[in-house]
Every structure is written in C-alpha cells, then in structure tokens.
Amino acid sequence: MKHKSVDVSVDAMLDDLRTLVETESPSRDVDALAASAKAVAAVIESRLGGRARLVESAAGPHVHWSGGGDPKVLILGHHDTVFPLGTLARRPFEVEAGHATGPGVFDMLGGLVQAVHGVASLADRSGVEILVTADEEVGSHASRALIEERALACGAVLVAEGAADDGGLKTARKGCGTFQVSLTGRASHAGLEPAAGVNALVEAAHQVLDIAALSRPDIGTTVTPTVASAGTLDNVVPAEATIVVDVRVESADEKDRIESAFAALTPHLDEAKIAVRGSVGRPPMPESASAELFAMAQQLAPGLRGKAVGGGSDGNFTAALGVPTLDGLGAVGGGAHADHEYLVVAAMTERADLIAGLVQAIRDK
C-alpha cells in the first residue's frame, strides 16, 4: 500500500499491547478505568503526538484524540474489558506460538493498538479522530452521546472491534438489548397455608414461556431468558422473582415489536404483579451502513470477506444515525470474554495497514 510513510512494527505493537493488557480495566471499576485511560492516552500520544484528551464520565474516563483539520473519519473503540481485577495474575500477557494471550487482547485492546499504529504510519494524520470509551461492555450509557456527536461530525466510522471468526469484517450487526422482568406475589408458609400465598416463582415460570415464544429465529429475532432468581427459604412461598432476558433483532420493526410485547406482559396468577425494565438499547446495524466502506476495504485487500453477526457494538449507534460504519477492523483471533481469548500476531501488520488505507481512501473520496 502506498499510503504509508513508515513501516508498522509488530514488536512495537506488542509492547503497547502488553502495556494496555497489564493495566487491568474491568467495566464499572472507575479507579481501574482511570488508570487504563491514562495508559491508552500515553500510547496514543507516544505514537501519534498531540494530546489525547480524557473525557470524564460516571462510568470512567473516555479518551479522545484528534489529528486536527476538518474531521473526516472516526476510529472507535473501548478500553473497558469484562475481566475482574486479578485476572492478569492468573492469565498474564504472553506471546507464544504466534498468539498473544491475556485479558482483553482480542476484545479489544489489540484492535486499539493496531489502529493507533496504522494511523501512525500516515505522514498526514489530519481529519482523523480516535475515541476510546470506558463502558462499551456495559451498554455505553455514559458514552453514547459523545460517540454520536463525533460520528456525525466526522461522517465515517471505523470500529476497531475484533474480526469475525474467519478473520473477515463485520458488515452488519443485530440490535441487542436486555430486559428485566420483576414478579411480585405474596409470601406464605409452604406447609401450613400455601394457598394463602401468591407464588412469584410459578408466575415467573409462566412468563418465561411467554417471553421465549416471542423469538422469531426465521427472521433473526432471538429472545433468550438468561438469568432467573426467586425465593428465600425452602418452606416459604416466594413473594418475588426476577427474569433477565437477552434480545437480538435484525430490523427496526422487530425492535418495536419486541419492546411492545414486553410492555404488554400481564400476570397469569390472580394478585400477581409484573414490572418490566429495559429496551433494545443498541439498534440494528444494517449491511447498507457498511456497503461503501466495505467496498473500499475490498479494494485495499482483495478477497476480504464480510459477515453479519449477532453481537452488538458502538457501531450500532453510529450506523443508526446514517453514518457509514465498518466494524470488525480490529484483532484477528477469538475467544472474546473467555479464558482462551487470543490474538493472531501475524495478522497485526495487515490490519494496521488496512486501517491506514481506509483512512486515506475516506479522506481522498
């Protein structure tokens, strides 16, 4: 690719990746995320120059960097991970047999490092912005407004989330959300007067079946009860129960149908009460949102594949605004959110080059 002014160094990328992995950053741990944000900012500043601004939020600091000039492209990522403090001691950063391992290497610290080094390979970094948020793994509630603001200002978004299973890019994503259904009954002695109670667990069982029946896998809608809790003691009719439900949809119409269906849930048992919280918080990212940018990527890397996936990212938000968005540009590897998470070292340079090439193509169009 002719856009580069300096070669991308795998060793330098691995050094930066080690720095970020060894600064643990579990979601919701604001102190840890503050340290992580400083580490991310230091890596960005050392490779790109300028100043990486820390944007404070209730969820922890976001990191924003601009190459100056008229904004043209936003590179989007997050520095929070799903792993609790102490994971690093059990699973330290290592590079062996062509794989880098450690908490967050694939989701998504590797992608951040590749993006930074890709931009660093450009002689001209104007028009480029990098936004690294602190709460993607827990819904992006504290970062969504900033993400949307910068996406609209830039007009194109490259998401440095990990690649699809086959190393391809993510050209569409389902919308996703979480619902919590709370059931309230009435406690009573399970042996002396069970009929005097209103069994919230039995009500929950009815609701689980009703909720699961909302799925339409034939059109990409999955509604999956994932967590349930009820009861206090084995001889007490339970007065309360909760159900947590994961929802994935491919269309805005299905988002509306599911949200309406949850709002319309009604109790089966007399005197039971029901309360519902939640929504499909991340709207679907249709393939149309990525079509233009994916065509550019294929020009740069012929044979590169695209894939629609069920998981959501912050790219869902930017695509819903009508901003061209291409996802899955980060690390090639796998095992997101699992102990076997890994990054393929041999793919790091080509991914950094792809980011750089896309930045140049977007600015030149």
With 50 as the cut, is the pLDDT of residue 342 above it? yes
Q: Extract the tokens encoding 327.
A: 């996802």
Q: Which amino acid is at 29?
A: D
In Å, what is the CA distance from 341 to each residue of 28, 80, 107, 125? 21, 15, 8, 32
Could you tell me where the DSSP H helices lie in the chain? 10-21, 30-48, 87-90, 110-120, 144-154, 200-212, 252-263, 287-300, 315-320, 348-364
The candidate with the shortest Cα–Cα distance to 240, out of 251, 232, 249, is: 232
pLDDT at 143 over 80: yes
Ordered by start, the domain boundaries in the chain are 10-174+285-364, 175-282
State pTM to two decimals: 0.91
pLDDT, one tens digit per residue, over 318-337 is 999 999 999 999 999 999 99
Q: Is the dihedral of CA 309, 313, 317, 321 positive or negative?
A: negative
CA 305 – CA 55 distance, rounded (Å): 35
Residue 2, pLDDT score: 45
Answer positive or negative: Cα dihedral of 335, 339, 340, 345: positive
CB 115 within 8 A of CB 355: yes
Instruction: Just give the CATH number of 175-282.
Output: 3.30.70.360
Strand-pair partners of 242: 182, 229
Q: Which residues pair with 237 in a beta bridge?
A: 188
pLDDT at residue number 5: 52
**Tens-digit pLDDT profile for residues 23-71:** 999 999 999 999 999 999 999 999 999 999 999 999 999 999 999 999 9
Superfamily of domain 10-174+285-364: Zn peptidases (3.40.630.10)
Vertex 342, ends 336 and 345: CA angle to 5°?
135
- Report the alpha-carbon distance of residue 105 to residue 157 in Å, rounded: 22
Nearest Cα to 163, choosing from 326, 40, 26, 323?
326
